[in-house]
A and B are shown apart, each in its own frame.
Chain A
Protein backbone atom coordinates (compact mmCIF):
# COMPACT_ATOMS: atom_id res chain seq x y z
CA UNK A 1 0.00 0.00 0.00
CA UNK A 2 1.23 3.40 -0.86
CA UNK A 3 0.62 4.71 2.60
CA UNK A 4 3.31 2.42 3.92
CA UNK A 5 5.82 3.91 1.58
CA UNK A 6 8.98 4.69 3.51
CA UNK A 7 10.49 7.82 2.11
CA UNK A 8 13.71 7.56 3.97
CA UNK A 9 14.85 4.10 3.20
CA UNK A 10 16.73 3.72 -0.01
CA UNK A 11 14.17 5.08 -2.34
CA UNK A 12 15.26 6.89 -5.42
CA UNK A 13 14.04 10.38 -6.01
CA UNK A 14 11.99 9.10 -8.89
CA UNK A 15 10.20 6.58 -6.70
CA UNK A 16 9.50 9.22 -4.12
CA UNK A 17 8.08 11.56 -6.72
CA UNK A 18 5.97 8.82 -8.16
CA UNK A 19 4.55 7.94 -4.78
CA UNK A 20 3.59 11.53 -4.19
CA UNK A 21 2.01 11.91 -7.58
CA UNK A 22 -0.03 8.79 -6.98
CA UNK A 23 -1.50 10.17 -3.79
CA UNK A 24 -2.21 13.55 -5.34
CA UNK A 25 0.21 15.61 -3.27
CA UNK A 26 0.97 17.85 -6.22
CA UNK A 27 -2.49 19.34 -6.68
CA UNK A 28 -2.97 22.97 -5.78
CA UNK A 29 -6.07 25.11 -5.86
CA UNK A 30 -7.47 27.01 -8.78
CA UNK A 31 -5.15 29.63 -10.15
CA UNK A 32 -7.19 32.57 -9.02
CA UNK A 33 -7.27 31.41 -5.42
CA UNK A 34 -3.55 31.37 -4.83
CA UNK A 35 -1.55 33.23 -2.28
CA UNK A 36 1.16 35.02 -4.22
CA UNK A 37 3.69 34.21 -1.53
CA UNK A 38 3.53 30.60 -2.58
CA UNK A 39 5.09 31.45 -5.91
CA UNK A 40 8.45 29.84 -5.09
CA UNK A 41 6.75 26.58 -4.25
CA UNK A 42 4.56 26.35 -7.31
CA UNK A 43 5.89 24.47 -10.28
CA UNK A 44 3.49 25.49 -13.00
CA UNK A 45 -0.10 26.11 -13.95
CA UNK A 46 -2.04 23.45 -15.76
CA UNK A 47 -5.73 23.33 -16.71
CA UNK A 48 -6.47 26.30 -14.48
CA UNK A 49 -4.95 24.83 -11.32
CA UNK A 50 -1.53 25.28 -9.78
CA UNK A 51 0.82 22.33 -9.52
CA UNK A 52 3.00 22.31 -6.44
CA UNK A 53 6.69 21.66 -6.74
CA UNK A 54 7.00 18.32 -5.05
CA UNK A 55 10.72 18.12 -5.64
CA UNK A 56 10.94 20.76 -2.94
CA UNK A 57 8.45 18.83 -0.86
CA UNK A 58 10.94 16.02 -0.50
CA UNK A 59 13.52 18.30 1.09
CA UNK A 60 11.11 20.23 3.22
CA UNK A 61 9.61 17.02 4.48
CA UNK A 62 13.02 15.81 5.54
CA UNK A 63 13.70 18.98 7.52
CA UNK A 64 10.35 18.76 9.20
CA UNK A 65 10.93 15.13 10.07
CA UNK A 66 14.11 15.97 11.89
CA UNK A 67 12.37 18.70 13.83
CA UNK A 68 9.55 16.34 14.68
CA UNK A 69 11.90 13.76 16.06
CA UNK A 70 13.49 16.25 18.40
CA UNK A 71 10.22 17.55 19.79
CA UNK A 72 8.61 16.10 22.84
CA UNK A 73 5.17 17.67 23.06
CA UNK A 74 3.55 17.78 19.65
CA UNK A 75 0.00 18.80 18.82
CA UNK A 76 -1.60 17.93 15.48
CA UNK A 77 -4.26 20.38 14.35
CA UNK A 78 -6.78 19.68 11.60
CA UNK A 79 -10.47 20.35 12.05
CA UNK A 80 -12.08 19.96 8.65
CA UNK A 81 -14.49 16.99 8.70
CA UNK A 82 -12.66 15.16 5.97
CA UNK A 83 -9.26 15.11 7.57
CA UNK A 84 -10.33 14.98 11.21
CA UNK A 85 -10.16 11.16 11.39
CA UNK A 86 -6.73 11.16 9.75
CA UNK A 87 -5.38 13.59 12.32
CA UNK A 88 -6.70 11.51 15.15
CA UNK A 89 -5.25 8.27 13.83
CA UNK A 90 -1.82 9.67 13.15
CA UNK A 91 -1.60 11.39 16.51
CA UNK A 92 -2.71 8.34 18.42
CA UNK A 93 -0.22 6.19 16.59
CA UNK A 94 2.73 8.28 17.69
CA UNK A 95 1.40 9.22 21.11
CA UNK A 96 1.02 12.85 20.29
CA UNK A 97 -1.79 15.27 21.05
CA UNK A 98 -4.34 16.46 18.56
CA UNK A 99 -7.18 18.87 17.99
CA UNK A 100 -9.62 17.66 15.38
CA UNK A 101 -12.83 19.39 16.33
CA UNK A 102 -13.07 23.12 16.78
CA UNK A 103 -9.85 24.73 17.95
CA UNK A 104 -10.90 26.39 21.17
CA UNK A 105 -9.82 30.03 21.15
CA UNK A 106 -7.02 30.66 23.58
CA UNK A 107 -5.99 27.02 23.81
CA UNK A 108 -2.38 28.12 23.97
CA UNK A 109 -2.52 31.82 24.73
CA UNK A 110 -4.97 31.27 27.56
CA UNK A 111 -3.17 28.20 28.76
CA UNK A 112 -3.80 28.75 32.44
CA UNK A 113 -7.56 28.56 31.96
CA UNK A 114 -7.46 25.78 29.45
CA UNK A 115 -5.19 23.60 31.53
CA UNK A 116 -7.76 23.87 34.30
CA UNK A 117 -10.41 22.68 31.85
CA UNK A 118 -8.26 19.75 30.85
CA UNK A 119 -7.65 18.90 34.48
CA UNK A 120 -11.40 19.01 34.99
CA UNK A 121 -11.87 16.59 32.14
CA UNK A 122 -9.38 14.17 33.60
CA UNK A 123 -11.10 14.36 36.94
CA UNK A 124 -14.44 13.66 35.34
CA UNK A 125 -12.93 10.66 33.62
CA UNK A 126 -11.82 9.27 36.97
CA UNK A 127 -15.13 10.02 38.53
CA UNK A 128 -17.12 8.24 35.89
CA UNK A 129 -14.89 5.22 36.01
CA UNK A 130 -15.77 4.65 39.62
CA UNK A 131 -18.54 2.47 40.78
CA UNK A 132 -21.59 4.76 40.79
CA UNK A 133 -22.38 3.98 44.39
CA UNK A 134 -19.06 5.16 45.70
CA UNK A 135 -19.25 8.55 44.06
CA UNK A 136 -21.84 9.89 46.46
CA UNK A 137 -23.75 11.51 43.61
CA UNK A 138 -27.33 11.00 42.61
CA UNK A 139 -28.25 9.44 39.30
CA UNK A 140 -29.24 12.78 37.90
CA UNK A 141 -25.97 14.37 38.96
CA UNK A 142 -24.07 11.54 37.40
CA UNK A 143 -25.90 11.99 34.13
CA UNK A 144 -25.06 15.68 34.23
CA UNK A 145 -21.42 14.88 34.85
CA UNK A 146 -21.47 12.52 31.93
CA UNK A 147 -22.83 15.19 29.65
CA UNK A 148 -20.17 17.57 30.88
CA UNK A 149 -17.51 15.00 30.22
CA UNK A 150 -18.80 14.37 26.72
CA UNK A 151 -18.76 18.01 25.86
CA UNK A 152 -15.27 18.54 27.19
CA UNK A 153 -14.11 15.40 25.50
CA UNK A 154 -15.33 16.74 22.21
CA UNK A 155 -13.00 19.72 22.35
CA UNK A 156 -10.15 18.55 24.55
CA UNK A 157 -10.25 14.83 23.97
CA UNK A 158 -7.01 14.90 22.03
CA UNK A 159 -5.09 17.04 24.50
CA UNK A 160 -5.99 15.19 27.68
CA UNK A 161 -2.36 14.48 28.45
CA UNK A 162 -1.04 17.89 27.54
CA UNK A 163 0.47 19.33 30.67
CA UNK A 164 2.34 22.29 29.28
CA UNK A 165 2.64 24.28 26.11
CA UNK A 166 3.68 22.14 23.16
CA UNK A 167 7.11 22.22 21.56
CA UNK A 168 5.77 21.81 18.07
CA UNK A 169 2.45 22.16 16.35
CA UNK A 170 1.57 20.46 13.07
CA UNK A 171 -1.15 22.28 11.16
CA UNK A 172 -3.13 20.85 8.26
CA UNK A 173 -5.32 23.31 6.44
CA UNK A 174 -3.79 26.65 7.29
CA UNK A 175 -6.55 28.96 6.00
CA UNK A 176 -9.08 27.05 8.04
CA UNK A 177 -7.03 26.91 11.25
CA UNK A 178 -6.35 30.61 11.47
CA UNK A 179 -6.75 30.76 15.24
CA UNK A 180 -4.23 28.03 15.81
CA UNK A 181 -1.76 29.63 13.45
CA UNK A 182 -1.95 33.03 15.10
CA UNK A 183 -1.68 31.64 18.61
CA UNK A 184 1.50 29.80 17.69
CA UNK A 185 2.87 32.98 16.19
CA UNK A 186 2.11 34.92 19.34
CA UNK A 187 3.88 32.43 21.52
CA UNK A 188 6.73 31.69 19.12
CA UNK A 189 5.89 28.03 19.01
CA UNK A 190 7.44 26.41 15.95
CA UNK A 191 5.00 24.97 13.49
CA UNK A 192 5.00 22.50 10.64
CA UNK A 193 2.35 23.29 8.05
CA UNK A 194 1.14 21.58 4.93
CA UNK A 195 1.20 24.46 2.47
CA UNK A 196 -1.40 24.39 -0.25
CA UNK A 197 -1.33 26.99 -3.01
CA UNK A 198 -3.63 29.27 -1.03
CA UNK A 199 -1.57 29.25 2.17
CA UNK A 200 0.89 31.75 3.58
CA UNK A 201 4.37 30.32 4.06
CA UNK A 202 5.50 33.20 6.24
CA UNK A 203 3.28 32.06 9.08
CA UNK A 204 5.12 28.84 9.62
CA UNK A 205 8.50 27.51 10.57
CA UNK A 206 8.61 24.40 8.45
CA UNK A 207 6.37 24.58 5.44
CA UNK A 208 5.75 21.48 3.34
CA UNK A 209 4.19 22.23 -0.03
CA UNK A 210 1.45 19.63 -0.36
CA UNK A 211 -2.22 19.22 -1.16
CA UNK A 212 -4.17 19.61 2.06
CA UNK A 213 -7.63 18.84 0.72
CA UNK A 214 -7.38 15.18 -0.09
CA UNK A 215 -7.41 12.56 2.64
CA UNK A 216 -4.91 10.42 0.79
CA UNK A 217 -2.44 13.22 0.36
CA UNK A 218 -2.63 14.36 3.97
CA UNK A 219 -2.32 10.84 5.25
CA UNK A 220 0.71 10.22 3.10
CA UNK A 221 2.60 13.32 4.15
CA UNK A 222 1.80 12.93 7.83
CA UNK A 223 2.83 9.28 7.80
CA UNK A 224 6.16 10.25 6.31
CA UNK A 225 6.51 13.00 8.87
CA UNK A 226 6.09 10.77 11.87
CA UNK A 227 8.00 7.78 10.60
Chain B
Protein backbone atom coordinates (compact mmCIF):
# COMPACT_ATOMS: atom_id res chain seq x y z
CA UNK B 1 0.00 0.00 0.00
CA UNK B 2 1.40 3.31 -0.93
CA UNK B 3 0.26 5.41 1.94
CA UNK B 4 2.33 7.17 4.49
CA UNK B 5 2.01 4.77 7.35
CA UNK B 6 3.80 5.42 10.53
CA UNK B 7 3.12 2.02 11.93
CA UNK B 8 5.34 -0.95 11.70
CA UNK B 9 4.09 -4.36 10.94
CA UNK B 10 6.31 -6.34 13.25
CA UNK B 11 4.52 -7.60 16.28
CA UNK B 12 7.08 -7.00 18.99
CA UNK B 13 8.81 -4.00 17.64
CA UNK B 14 8.92 -0.74 19.44
CA UNK B 15 6.82 2.16 18.46
CA UNK B 16 8.30 4.98 16.53
CA UNK B 17 7.92 7.38 19.39
CA UNK B 18 10.17 5.97 22.03
CA UNK B 19 13.85 6.52 21.64
CA UNK B 20 15.78 4.27 23.99
CA UNK B 21 19.43 3.59 24.43
CA UNK B 22 19.02 0.00 25.47
CA UNK B 23 16.30 -1.78 23.59
CA UNK B 24 16.80 -4.99 25.52
CA UNK B 25 15.25 -3.71 28.70
CA UNK B 26 11.54 -3.37 28.89
CA UNK B 27 11.55 -0.19 30.82
CA UNK B 28 13.04 2.29 28.47
CA UNK B 29 12.61 5.86 29.33
CA UNK B 30 10.48 7.94 27.22
CA UNK B 31 12.75 10.60 25.89
CA UNK B 32 11.60 14.08 26.33
CA UNK B 33 9.82 13.53 23.11
CA UNK B 34 8.75 17.02 22.75
CA UNK B 35 6.39 17.06 19.87
CA UNK B 36 8.37 17.60 16.75
CA UNK B 37 6.62 20.41 15.06
CA UNK B 38 5.27 19.40 11.74
CA UNK B 39 7.47 21.26 9.34
CA UNK B 40 5.07 21.32 6.50
CA UNK B 41 1.46 22.06 7.28
CA UNK B 42 -0.43 18.83 6.83
CA UNK B 43 -2.91 18.88 4.05
CA UNK B 44 -5.44 16.30 3.11
CA UNK B 45 -4.69 15.10 -0.34
CA UNK B 46 -6.40 12.63 -2.53
CA UNK B 47 -5.00 9.22 -1.65
CA UNK B 48 -2.56 7.84 -4.17
CA UNK B 49 -4.34 4.79 -5.36
CA UNK B 50 -2.95 1.72 -6.98
CA UNK B 51 -4.97 -0.16 -9.55
CA UNK B 52 -6.79 -2.51 -7.19
CA UNK B 53 -7.59 0.25 -4.78
CA UNK B 54 -9.03 2.50 -7.40
CA UNK B 55 -12.08 0.32 -7.69
CA UNK B 56 -12.45 0.38 -3.93
CA UNK B 57 -12.27 4.16 -3.85
CA UNK B 58 -14.80 4.44 -6.59
CA UNK B 59 -17.17 2.26 -4.61
CA UNK B 60 -16.45 4.23 -1.50
CA UNK B 61 -17.13 7.62 -2.96
CA UNK B 62 -20.21 6.29 -4.69
CA UNK B 63 -21.76 4.94 -1.52
CA UNK B 64 -20.57 7.71 0.75
CA UNK B 65 -23.26 10.05 -0.40
CA UNK B 66 -25.96 7.82 1.04
CA UNK B 67 -24.51 7.80 4.49
CA UNK B 68 -23.73 11.42 5.12
CA UNK B 69 -26.07 13.24 7.39
CA UNK B 70 -26.51 16.94 7.71
CA UNK B 71 -28.89 17.84 10.46
CA UNK B 72 -29.77 21.33 11.49
CA UNK B 73 -31.50 22.72 14.52
CA UNK B 74 -35.23 22.45 14.00
CA UNK B 75 -35.15 19.30 11.88
CA UNK B 76 -37.61 16.57 12.71
CA UNK B 77 -36.10 13.11 12.37
CA UNK B 78 -36.73 9.51 13.27
CA UNK B 79 -34.28 7.95 15.68
CA UNK B 80 -33.81 4.67 17.47
CA UNK B 81 -33.39 4.68 21.24
CA UNK B 82 -30.22 2.76 22.02
CA UNK B 83 -29.66 3.34 25.72
CA UNK B 84 -31.26 5.14 28.62
CA UNK B 85 -29.89 6.42 31.88
CA UNK B 86 -30.62 9.08 34.46
CA UNK B 87 -29.67 11.87 32.09
CA UNK B 88 -32.09 10.82 29.42
CA UNK B 89 -32.24 8.66 26.35
CA UNK B 90 -29.45 8.13 23.83
CA UNK B 91 -30.82 8.05 20.33
CA UNK B 92 -29.08 6.78 17.23
CA UNK B 93 -29.83 9.17 14.38
CA UNK B 94 -27.22 7.92 11.98
CA UNK B 95 -24.61 10.54 12.75
CA UNK B 96 -21.21 10.33 14.37
CA UNK B 97 -22.36 9.82 17.91
CA UNK B 98 -25.75 9.07 19.45
CA UNK B 99 -27.77 12.14 20.35
CA UNK B 100 -29.17 12.76 23.78
CA UNK B 101 -32.79 13.43 24.58
CA UNK B 102 -32.73 14.78 28.15
CA UNK B 103 -35.33 13.47 30.58
CA UNK B 104 -37.17 16.75 30.77
CA UNK B 105 -37.57 16.84 27.03
CA UNK B 106 -38.86 13.30 26.73
CA UNK B 107 -42.49 14.13 27.13
CA UNK B 108 -44.97 16.95 27.57
CA UNK B 109 -46.21 15.44 30.80
CA UNK B 110 -43.49 15.42 33.42
CA UNK B 111 -41.80 12.06 33.77
CA UNK B 112 -39.19 10.86 36.21
CA UNK B 113 -37.08 8.96 33.75
CA UNK B 114 -36.87 8.29 30.07
CA UNK B 115 -37.69 4.62 30.48
CA UNK B 116 -41.29 5.52 31.26
CA UNK B 117 -41.77 6.96 27.81
CA UNK B 118 -39.44 5.06 25.51
CA UNK B 119 -38.74 1.43 24.79
CA UNK B 120 -35.18 0.49 24.02
CA UNK B 121 -34.68 -0.33 20.39
CA UNK B 122 -37.81 1.43 19.19
CA UNK B 123 -37.95 4.29 16.75
CA UNK B 124 -39.53 7.58 17.65
CA UNK B 125 -39.79 11.03 16.18
CA UNK B 126 -37.55 13.76 17.58
CA UNK B 127 -36.81 17.39 16.96
CA UNK B 128 -33.23 18.68 17.05
CA UNK B 129 -32.86 21.32 19.70
CA UNK B 130 -29.12 21.83 19.84
CA UNK B 131 -26.65 21.18 17.11
CA UNK B 132 -23.27 19.53 17.05
CA UNK B 133 -21.50 20.45 20.26
CA UNK B 134 -18.09 19.75 18.82
CA UNK B 135 -18.06 16.10 19.76
CA UNK B 136 -20.72 15.15 17.31
CA UNK B 137 -23.56 14.71 19.78
CA UNK B 138 -26.73 16.73 19.55
CA UNK B 139 -29.63 17.40 21.86
CA UNK B 140 -33.09 16.21 20.91
CA UNK B 141 -36.57 16.84 22.16
CA UNK B 142 -39.89 15.07 21.92
CA UNK B 143 -41.63 17.63 24.05
CA UNK B 144 -41.51 20.32 21.41
CA UNK B 145 -43.23 18.18 18.88
CA UNK B 146 -45.87 17.14 21.38
CA UNK B 147 -46.41 20.73 22.41
CA UNK B 148 -47.14 21.77 18.85
CA UNK B 149 -49.42 18.79 18.37
CA UNK B 150 -51.31 19.56 21.58
CA UNK B 151 -51.98 23.16 20.58
CA UNK B 152 -53.07 21.98 17.15
CA UNK B 153 -55.55 19.56 18.71
CA UNK B 154 -56.98 22.34 20.83
CA UNK B 155 -57.36 24.58 17.81
CA UNK B 156 -59.10 21.75 15.98
CA UNK B 157 -61.40 21.13 18.91
CA UNK B 158 -62.31 24.78 19.00
CA UNK B 159 -62.99 24.88 15.29
CA UNK B 160 -65.08 21.72 15.34
CA UNK B 161 -66.78 22.65 18.59
CA UNK B 162 -65.65 19.41 20.17
CA UNK B 163 -65.58 18.71 23.86
CA UNK B 164 -62.38 17.31 25.35
CA UNK B 165 -61.80 15.83 28.74
CA UNK B 166 -59.77 17.71 31.33
CA UNK B 167 -58.53 17.28 34.86
CA UNK B 168 -58.93 19.96 37.51
CA UNK B 169 -55.60 21.13 38.89
CA UNK B 170 -56.48 23.90 41.29
CA UNK B 171 -59.07 26.48 42.22
CA UNK B 172 -58.55 30.20 42.41
CA UNK B 173 -60.57 33.36 42.73
CA UNK B 174 -61.53 33.83 39.15
CA UNK B 175 -62.19 30.22 38.28
CA UNK B 176 -60.37 26.93 38.08
CA UNK B 177 -57.17 25.69 36.44
CA UNK B 178 -57.40 22.53 34.41
CA UNK B 179 -55.05 20.33 32.44
CA UNK B 180 -56.27 19.42 28.98
CA UNK B 181 -54.10 17.65 26.40
CA UNK B 182 -51.18 18.16 28.78
CA UNK B 183 -51.61 21.92 28.51
CA UNK B 184 -52.75 24.23 31.28
CA UNK B 185 -56.05 25.91 30.70
CA UNK B 186 -58.36 28.17 32.65
CA UNK B 187 -62.11 27.98 33.15
CA UNK B 188 -63.66 31.23 34.38
CA UNK B 189 -66.17 31.05 37.18
CA UNK B 190 -68.99 32.04 34.90
CA UNK B 191 -68.32 29.13 32.63
CA UNK B 192 -68.65 26.43 35.19
CA UNK B 193 -71.64 24.19 34.84
CA UNK B 194 -74.61 24.72 37.14
CA UNK B 195 -74.09 21.72 39.31
CA UNK B 196 -70.55 22.75 40.12
CA UNK B 197 -70.85 26.38 41.03
CA UNK B 198 -72.97 25.76 44.08
CA UNK B 199 -70.94 22.91 45.47
CA UNK B 200 -67.69 23.21 47.32
CA UNK B 201 -65.12 24.19 44.73
CA UNK B 202 -62.15 22.75 46.50
CA UNK B 203 -63.59 19.32 46.11
CA UNK B 204 -63.26 19.67 42.39
CA UNK B 205 -59.50 19.23 42.40
CA UNK B 206 -58.65 15.97 40.69
CA UNK B 207 -62.00 15.54 39.00
CA UNK B 208 -62.48 15.07 35.30
CA UNK B 209 -64.60 17.56 33.44
CA UNK B 210 -65.58 17.82 29.80
CA UNK B 211 -64.68 21.21 28.35
CA UNK B 212 -65.02 23.18 25.17
CA UNK B 213 -62.56 25.84 24.14
CA UNK B 214 -63.34 29.53 24.07
CA UNK B 215 -59.90 30.89 23.37
CA UNK B 216 -56.87 29.07 21.97
CA UNK B 217 -53.88 31.36 21.49
CA UNK B 218 -50.50 29.63 21.31
CA UNK B 219 -48.39 32.76 21.09
CA UNK B 220 -49.86 34.34 24.16
CA UNK B 221 -50.03 30.94 25.83
CA UNK B 222 -53.71 31.49 26.59
CA UNK B 223 -56.06 28.57 26.80
CA UNK B 224 -59.53 29.42 28.06
CA UNK B 225 -62.16 26.73 28.24
CA UNK B 226 -65.74 26.36 29.32
CA UNK B 227 -67.36 23.54 31.18
CA UNK B 228 -70.81 24.94 30.76
CA UNK B 229 -70.66 24.88 27.00
CA UNK B 230 -69.58 21.29 27.08
CA UNK B 231 -72.31 20.10 29.38
CA UNK B 232 -75.16 21.96 27.76
CA UNK B 233 -76.37 19.27 25.50
CA UNK B 234 -79.14 21.42 24.24
CA UNK B 235 -76.96 24.49 24.11
CA UNK B 236 -79.89 26.77 24.25
CA UNK B 237 -82.20 24.83 22.03
CA UNK B 238 -85.63 24.33 23.44
CA UNK B 239 -85.32 27.62 25.14
CA UNK B 240 -86.56 30.32 22.86
CA UNK B 241 -87.01 33.98 23.36
CA UNK B 242 -90.33 34.50 25.07
CA UNK B 243 -90.38 31.17 26.90
CA UNK B 244 -91.42 31.08 30.50
CA UNK B 245 -89.30 28.66 32.44
CA UNK B 246 -88.64 27.70 36.01
CA UNK B 247 -85.26 28.40 37.36
CA UNK B 248 -83.23 28.24 40.51
CA UNK B 249 -81.20 31.17 41.69
CA UNK B 250 -77.51 30.27 41.70
CA UNK B 251 -75.79 33.43 42.77
CA UNK B 252 -76.73 36.92 43.76
CA UNK B 253 -74.67 39.88 42.65
CA UNK B 254 -75.09 43.64 43.09
CA UNK B 255 -76.24 43.95 39.49
CA UNK B 256 -78.61 41.03 39.43
CA UNK B 257 -78.97 37.33 39.94
CA UNK B 258 -77.69 34.32 38.04
CA UNK B 259 -80.50 31.88 37.50
CA UNK B 260 -80.09 28.36 36.20
CA UNK B 261 -82.77 27.51 33.70
CA UNK B 262 -82.85 24.10 32.06
CA UNK B 263 -79.10 23.62 32.51
CA UNK B 264 -78.22 27.06 31.24
CA UNK B 265 -77.26 30.00 33.31
CA UNK B 266 -78.96 33.32 32.66
CA UNK B 267 -78.68 36.76 34.12
CA UNK B 268 -81.68 38.32 35.73
CA UNK B 269 -80.62 41.94 35.77
CA UNK B 270 -81.68 44.13 38.68
CA UNK B 271 -83.61 46.34 36.33
CA UNK B 272 -85.52 43.41 34.97
CA UNK B 273 -86.79 42.01 38.23
CA UNK B 274 -89.65 44.40 38.81
CA UNK B 275 -91.16 47.60 37.61
CA UNK B 276 -90.60 49.05 41.01
CA UNK B 277 -87.18 50.23 42.01
CA UNK B 278 -85.13 47.63 43.87
CA UNK B 279 -82.41 48.80 46.15
CA UNK B 280 -80.68 45.50 46.79
CA UNK B 281 -81.13 42.23 44.96
CA UNK B 282 -80.45 40.20 48.03
CA UNK B 283 -83.54 41.56 49.66
CA UNK B 284 -85.68 40.08 46.97
CA UNK B 285 -83.87 36.94 45.95
CA UNK B 286 -81.47 34.54 47.56
CA UNK B 287 -79.57 31.49 46.24
CA UNK B 288 -81.74 28.45 46.03
CA UNK B 289 -84.98 30.31 45.34
CA UNK B 290 -87.19 28.87 42.71
CA UNK B 291 -88.92 31.25 40.38
CA UNK B 292 -90.40 31.61 36.95
CA UNK B 293 -88.59 33.78 34.48
CA UNK B 294 -89.12 34.98 30.98
CA UNK B 295 -86.35 34.65 28.42
CA UNK B 296 -85.69 38.05 26.97
CA UNK B 297 -82.85 37.26 24.63
CA UNK B 298 -80.30 34.66 23.81
CA UNK B 299 -76.67 35.08 22.90
CA UNK B 300 -75.78 31.67 21.53
CA UNK B 301 -72.13 32.38 20.84
CA UNK B 302 -71.37 33.44 24.33
CA UNK B 303 -73.95 31.09 25.75
CA UNK B 304 -75.74 33.82 27.62
CA UNK B 305 -79.39 34.22 28.43
CA UNK B 306 -81.04 37.42 29.44
CA UNK B 307 -83.96 36.85 31.79
CA UNK B 308 -86.74 38.93 33.12
CA UNK B 309 -89.48 38.73 35.71
CA UNK B 310 -90.57 42.31 35.16
CA UNK B 311 -92.54 41.40 32.11
CA UNK B 312 -94.39 38.75 34.07
CA UNK B 313 -95.84 41.15 36.59
CA UNK B 314 -99.58 41.59 36.09
CA UNK B 315 -99.38 44.74 38.16
CA UNK B 316 -96.32 46.80 38.72
CA UNK B 317 -94.47 45.83 41.82
CA UNK B 318 -96.01 42.40 42.23
CA UNK B 319 -92.65 40.70 42.36
CA UNK B 320 -91.91 42.40 45.60
CA UNK B 321 -95.27 42.25 47.24
CA UNK B 322 -96.85 39.16 45.89
CA UNK B 323 -94.40 36.85 44.19
CA UNK B 324 -96.72 33.87 44.15
CA UNK B 325 -99.26 35.82 42.16
CA UNK B 326 -96.58 36.51 39.60
CA UNK B 327 -95.82 32.84 39.30
CA UNK B 328 -99.39 31.92 38.78
CA UNK B 329 -99.89 34.49 36.11
CA UNK B 330 -96.51 33.82 34.62
CA UNK B 331 -97.74 31.71 31.71
CA UNK B 332 -100.38 34.23 30.76
CA UNK B 333 -98.01 37.12 30.94
CA UNK B 334 -95.53 35.22 28.92
CA UNK B 335 -98.07 34.69 26.23
CA UNK B 336 -98.96 38.33 26.25
CA UNK B 337 -95.31 39.20 25.88
CA UNK B 338 -94.90 36.95 22.91
CA UNK B 339 -97.96 38.43 21.23
CA UNK B 340 -96.69 41.90 21.75
CA UNK B 341 -93.32 40.96 20.30
CA UNK B 342 -94.93 39.31 17.28
CA UNK B 343 -97.13 42.33 16.68
CA UNK B 344 -94.19 44.66 16.91
CA UNK B 345 -92.27 42.60 14.40
CA UNK B 346 -95.17 42.45 12.00
CA UNK B 347 -95.59 46.19 12.23
CA UNK B 348 -91.95 46.70 11.51
CA UNK B 349 -92.11 44.43 8.49
CA UNK B 350 -95.33 45.76 7.05
CA UNK B 351 -94.27 49.38 7.64
CA UNK B 352 -91.53 50.99 5.62
CA UNK B 353 -91.14 50.20 1.91
CA UNK B 354 -87.42 49.81 2.25
CA UNK B 355 -88.00 46.97 4.59
CA UNK B 356 -90.14 45.34 1.98
CA UNK B 357 -87.46 45.68 -0.65
CA UNK B 358 -84.92 44.24 1.68
CA UNK B 359 -87.29 41.46 2.62
CA UNK B 360 -87.99 40.53 -0.98
CA UNK B 361 -84.38 40.65 -2.10
CA UNK B 362 -83.50 38.22 0.64
CA UNK B 363 -84.26 34.66 -0.30
Binding site for B on A (CB under 8 A): 13-14, 17-18, 21-22, 24, 26-30, 33, 36-37, 39-40, 42-51, 53-56, 59-60, 63, 67, 70-71, 81-82, 165, 182, 185-188, 190-191, 201-207, 211, 213-216
Contact B60 A43 (CB under 8 A): yes
For B55, the chain A residues whose CB sits under 8 A away are 13
Q: Given contacts A44-B44, A46-B68, A213-B135, is CB(A185)–CB(B60) below 8 Å?
A: no
Binds A, one of B2-10, B146-154, B208-216, B284-292: B2-10
Whole-angstrom CA separation of A51 from B60 in the bound complex: 11
Q: Which of B8, B56, B98 has the most CB of A within 10 A?
A: B56
Instruction: Pick the contact of B15: A42, A81, A188 (CB < 8 A).
Output: A188
Whole-angstrom CA separation of A39 from B43 in the bound complex: 6
Q: Given contacts A29-B135, A185-B18, A187-B26, is CB(A24)–CB(B96) below 8 Å?
A: yes
For B92, the chain A residues whose CB sits under 8 A away are 214-216
Contact A53 B7 (CB under 8 A): no
Q: How many residues from B make CB contacts under 8 Å with A?
A: 56
Whole-angstrom CA separation of A82 from B15 in the bound complex: 29
Binding site for A on B (CB under 8 A): 1, 3-9, 11-18, 20, 26-30, 38, 41-45, 47, 53, 55-57, 59-60, 63-64, 66-68, 70, 82-83, 85, 90, 92, 94-98, 132, 134-137
Q: Given contacts A46-B68, A47-B68, A201-B7, is CB(A18)–CB(B136) below 8 Å?
A: no
For B135, the chain A residues whose CB sits under 8 A away are 29, 213
Whole-angstrom CA separation of A115 from B354 in the bound complex: 111
Instruction: Pick the contact of B132: A30, A36, A59, A204 (CB < 8 A).
Output: A30
For A207, the chain B residues whose CB sits under 8 A away are 7
Whole-angstrom CA separation of A22 from B85 in the bound complex: 25
* Closest chain A residue to B5, Cβ basis: A40
Contact B134 A26 (CB under 8 A): no
Contact A40 B96 (CB under 8 A): no
Instruction: Pick the contact of A40: B3, B18, B41 (CB < 8 A).
Output: B3
For A186, the chain B residues whose CB sits under 8 A away are 18, 27-30
For B27, the chain A residues whose CB sits under 8 A away are 186-187
* Closest chain B residue to A21, Cβ basis: B67
Instruction: Pick the contact of A17: B28, B43, B44, B60 (CB < 8 A).
Output: B60
For A21, the chain B residues whose CB sits under 8 A away are 63-64, 66-67
